[in-house]
Amino acid sequence: MIFIVTFGDTIYMSYFYNEIKKMKAIIRTAIASDSSAILSLIKELALFEKEPESVKLIESDIKKYGFGTTPLFRCLVAELQHKVIGMALFYPRFSTWKGPTFHLEDLIVSEIYKGRGYGTQLYSAFIRDAYDLGVQRIEWNVLDWNIPAIRFYENSGAIVLQDWKTVQMDAQAMKNYLAKNK
């Protein structure tokens, strides 16, 4: 009896799981109460990028910078059965050649939900937003060892620039520089 029920459950769960796999996520603009879910996704990506200790932000920072009076970013979230399972976080930049552009800072789908098209849904929604607002270019960064991501971007019509490098200086280095160059 127990066996039969378990067997039935397994069939049911398998059916249910396949139905979930086929489901499209709901893509919507993030609100302040998504801050905790957004931070969880950011931490998950940092772990994937092998720098889990690099995330210095806490939930109140996400609230403050994303949903205050002058937001520093916009965020779209992918929701599945009332759970945020992915996000696209971006903000305006300015090209002195082209004019206003958007920068996609993070495109994240939680590990167990990968491979079901939610990343593509978020990516498309971001491109739609940018295009509708008339920005002349969108851009983002990718790790050169993340070959699946590079292939995905190139297949979508994006170009990976080969001759540009990113330069960064953190607050401590800024302080050191200023002390030496008064």
CB of 98 to a copy of itself, least distance (A): 6
CB of 10 to a copy of itself, least distance (A): 36
**Of the residues 118, 131, 153, 177, which is catalytic?**
153
For residue 174, report the phi and psi dihedrals to the nearest 5 degrees. -65, -45
148 binds a copy of itself (CB under 8 A): no
Task: Restricting to residues 74-93, name those near a copy of itself by CB under 8 A.
Answer: 89, 91-93
17-24 long-range contacts, Cβ below 8 Å, gap at least 24?
A: 20/80, 20/81, 21/116, 23/80, 24/117, 24/121
Query: Which stretch of DSSP H or E encloses residue 56?
Result: none
Does residue 153 have an active-site annotation?
yes
Which 8-state DSSP code applies to residue 114? T
d(CA 170, CA 130) in angstroms, rounded, equals 29
CB of 37 to a copy of itself, least distance (A): 13
- 3-class secondary structure, 69: coil
What residues have CB less than 8 Å from 140, skipping those under 6 apart?
Answer: 103, 104, 105, 107
Query: For a copy of itself, which is the closer residue by CB, 114 or 153?
Result: 153
44 binds a copy of itself (CB under 8 A): no
Q: End-to-end alpha-carbon separation of the chain, Å? A: 82
Position among 28, 40, 44, 46 found at the interface with a copy of itself (CB under 8 A): 46
164 binds a copy of itself (CB under 8 A): yes
Q: Which of 119, 88, 114 is nearest to 103 (CA)?
A: 88
Compose the 103-142 pattern: x for residues touching a copy of itself by CB under 8 A, - for all others.
x-xx-------------x---x--xx-xx---xxxxxxxx
Footprint on this chain of a copy of itself (rule: CB under 8 A): 42, 45-46, 51, 54-57, 61, 65, 72-73, 89, 91-100, 103, 105-106, 120, 124, 127-128, 130-131, 135-145, 150, 153, 156-171, 173-178, 181
* Residues forming the active site: 153
